[in-house]
Chains A and B, each alone.
Chain A
């Protein structure tokens, strides 16, 4: 049996291990992208901000008026005094823009097309603020704005929030997002069935802490990496601004429904593997089940071994690609568990009323917590979303993730069926990248070290 790891929850920032499950996520989110104009001034700024940085333990206390996190780009750390001998992995030192080929950020998603601050070369620091309500997020934003000056300049911002009058977690295509998350060993959270790693006998094992927090035990299939004391209790945060083309998605559903003879709702469910309510197809084969969708003790408790032919959840569906669980046609469980990610996503932009179209930019601010960018976030994106390695049943290279794949209009989704298969043909790109960056989220003690300029 695994020994449970003890994570330094008073040293790990809460953005790493708290508030990521849909029913625990704060409904308001603000990201400020900051440039360091003067290193000494930046240290003083950080020193002053330190008491507001929220640890996991403080998050659990629930006393903080807002939840605040500080993270750095590689360039940003270069301007601070980082101890000698700290090594940074290539994706982080290269930055997300330089990894566009791997991430499928091409065409309209290419870094050259990115708008706004995220992903621009002058971003050194990310400050993330989450709030339980509008007043809380405003207080947090003011708190950070008041701290800025000549030494630290804001070069961009993004704001996201739950959509009004929609169930928490709903994104612009209408799906409740953020349900399937890993349960982290030693995180101190209550595990829900289905959040961990499937084991024999229907059990779920937690994912090892080192997959998300540097300096802790890894899953058996993961390659070891050296972790400097400065990096311990830290993590990497991949932040992306993903625009959703809602009108094109709705149009596509309508036209595909006509060709396939399936209803739009069923097609939408087959593309993702869950009904838009969040109820998983493997458990809700016959129709949507809103009660199941809302119940965290059940909405993740399913196995693909119970759907070996893909008749409930297609092999190419979004959630089957993103986390193949125990899919008998998929990678081994050893491989699946070393590629897990924690997701934090909230919508930006207004909801598009049914039957209308507009030019408003809308989508999700999508964040990923992982300890090994290349083997977790980038791997899932590259090998499972935009390629066919998540299942032996998938082999047409153009057929990428139907919802988020970087399609060029030639890919399709085969919807396996007991009586006949159905198809979504000529998938366009529904989701485009508007910006993105990799950040290192230091521990509170390492933030203090940076603030003091100690090397």
Chain B
């Protein structure tokens, strides 16, 4: 089993690092973060050229009297035409006057604007129910950019289970692994035809393997847009006490710093969370969103069982938070349930894939770069090359 990949910056390389480390060791909240022992899990290693995922949360004012119409619009399938580089997007009213639109995408806002422009015909009827929507609609990307920026709400923290893999790399990783397994099966059943099996595998998949280093987008399958209950979005808005405002900022900032610099994060211990983010609605009103695999009860249980103290650090100053903290799982479930917003519109570019599936597939994809580079063209040597590879990487194949 692979352990988590922890990349330490060279000691003393940065003043900020020094300073932060000392602060963290002293602060009660932060030392708990430090004390977080990574459980065994497969964390994707560097995937070629990295893309920092970007995120935006915008809070759009809903036009008076348009609430019902908006809900009706949100029931439609808005993003018929997927565009690469957008990991996920969701739209839902957080109250009667505000529509939340948030997204995680590669590199810069252009990816999101392209997706919106491609789907303007269906998106315009939704967003035109908000105040100040550009007259030219989503097709006018310059105006859309200003519109989104105007209503942007500050993001406090973004967590991704996939390190910094690009959207195409994440999307293609699982199909690539399945193709590789088909190849292993073929070679086991017919070792004599190993060369031909390998040639076919390589022919069909070399672009995918290269994707791990190039981050190239290619055609998306529209089928991937239906989100069965394998992946679910969770969105909540909660109020915090005034004296918790600074503390929460600091906790989330520290958490993000650990993720960026040490690749450590409490959420790494929850094997079902794709993304999580916090954003500010107002000074004391906080938005939390996540995308998780499987069932709600399992999700709550994972949080309560694996990282109750970390949850207390974040939610401890929330109005109505259980007195016994997150360790009181039923009370935590009730607290979250009471503040959970309905699902409404949710777009995920790889909605049929679980976190574990993607993480292991990404790790395998990276190893396949070298595997293909060194693979003999056929015969007994190729069979042995495959055997050595699957022996070393058996934890990525189950």
Contact = CB atoms under 8 A, between A and B. Distances in A.
Contacts of A224: 330
Contact of A223 (B188, B189, B306, B333): B333
B40 A396 contact: no
Contact of A388 (B42, B188, B302, B356): B356
Contacts of B302: 335
B390 A396 contact: no
A387 to B, nearest CB: 7
Contact of B305 (A221, A395, A426): A221
A99 interface: no
Q: Is the interface of A mostly helix, strand, loop or mixed?
A: loop
Interface string B142-178: 0000000000000000000000000000000000011
B397 A421 contact: yes
Given A259-B188, A392-B41, A392-B42, A399 B297 contact: no
B188 A395 contact: no
B35 interface: no
A223 B304 CA distance: 12
Nearest to A224: B330
Main secondary structure of the interface of B (DSSP, over half): helix
Contact of A416 (B40, B298, B394): B394
B398 A416 contact: yes
Given A332-B306, A420-B390, A414 B397 contact: yes
Contacts of A280: none
Contacts of B41: 392
B184 interface: yes
Contacts of B352: 397
A104 to B, nearest CB: 13
A389 B356 CA distance: 9
A329 B352 CA distance: 23
A395 B391 contact: no
A388 B354 contact: yes
B211 to A, nearest CB: 20
Contacts of A389: 272, 294, 298
Given A224-B330, A328-B40, A389-B294, A334 B305 contact: yes
A214 B390 CA distance: 48
B43 to A, nearest CB: 11
B305 A393 contact: no
A395 B398 contact: yes
B330 A393 contact: no
- What band does the interface of chain B fall in when counting residues whose beta carbon is under 8 Å from A? 35 or more
A198 B295 CA distance: 26
Contacts of A259: 188-189
B329 A221 contact: yes
A394 B394 CA distance: 11
B329 A223 contact: yes
A412 interface: yes
B395 interface: yes
A315 B395 CA distance: 10
Contacts of B285: none
A420 B352 CA distance: 30
Nearest to A395: B356
Interface in B86-101: none
A14 B302 CA distance: 35
B394 A335 contact: no
B360 interface: yes
A399 B397 CA distance: 10
10 contacts: A316-B398, A392-B271, A396-B178, A397-B352, A399-B398, A414-B397, A419-B391, A421-B390, A421-B394, A423-B185
Interface of B: 1, 40-42, 177-178, 181, 184-185, 188-189, 230, 271-272, 294-295, 297-298, 301-302, 305-306, 329-330, 333, 352-354, 356-357, 359-361, 387, 390-391, 394-395, 397-398
Given A329-B1, A389-B294, A425-B189, 6 more contacts: A224-B330, A308-B1, A388-B356, A389-B272, A394-B398, A397-B352
Q: Which 9 A-B pairs have the closest CB atoms?
A: A395-B356, A414-B398, A421-B394, A395-B357, A395-B360, A420-B391, A425-B185, A332-B305, A334-B305
